[in-house]
Amino acid sequence: MTDTTESDTQHTAWCDPAECATAPPGWHQSTSRSVTGHDPEGIHPGATVHAVQLGTGDDSHPYIDMTIHTEPGDGTDTEDQAYTVLLIPERALTLGHLLTTAARAAMRQQAG
C-alpha cells in the first residue's frame, strides 16, 4: 500500500506550502500577489497573480494565473466580476514587458 503523506510531495521551488495546500490534488501554487491601492472612484480594476503547476511528473506544466477584479463603475454594473486567464510563463513575461513599456510611455507624456 502506498503512503501518500505530505512528506512524499515534491513541491516546486516557488511553491508556497500554505497556498499549495489549498490547490487541487497534484497541483502546486505560489504565493498570490495583488495589485490594489488608492482608488477613490472605485472603478479601477485590481489584479491577482500567482504561479501554478498543473499535473505531475513529465506531464506537468507551469502557468501564471492572472485574475482581473472589476468593480461596478458606472451604475450599469451591479456586481464585482473576476476574469481569470492562465498564461504560459513566456507569454506572461512578454505581457509584463508590454505593460511596463506602455505605462512608462504614458507616464512620461503625463509628466511632460
Which residues sit at the interface with Zn ion, rule CB under 5 A? 11, 15, 20, 28
- DSSP letter at 9 equals -
Rounded Cα gap, residues 2 and 78, in angstroms: 50
String of DSSP letters for 6-65: GGG----TT--HHHHTTSPTT-EE---EEE----TTS-SPEEEEEEEEESSGGG-EEEEE
User: Measured from the CB of residue 20, what is the shortest distance to Zn ion in angstroms?
Assistant: 3
Nearer to Zn ion, 60 or 100 (CB): 60
Nearer to Zn ion, 8 or 41 (CB): 8
Nearer to Zn ion, 15 or 92 (CB): 15
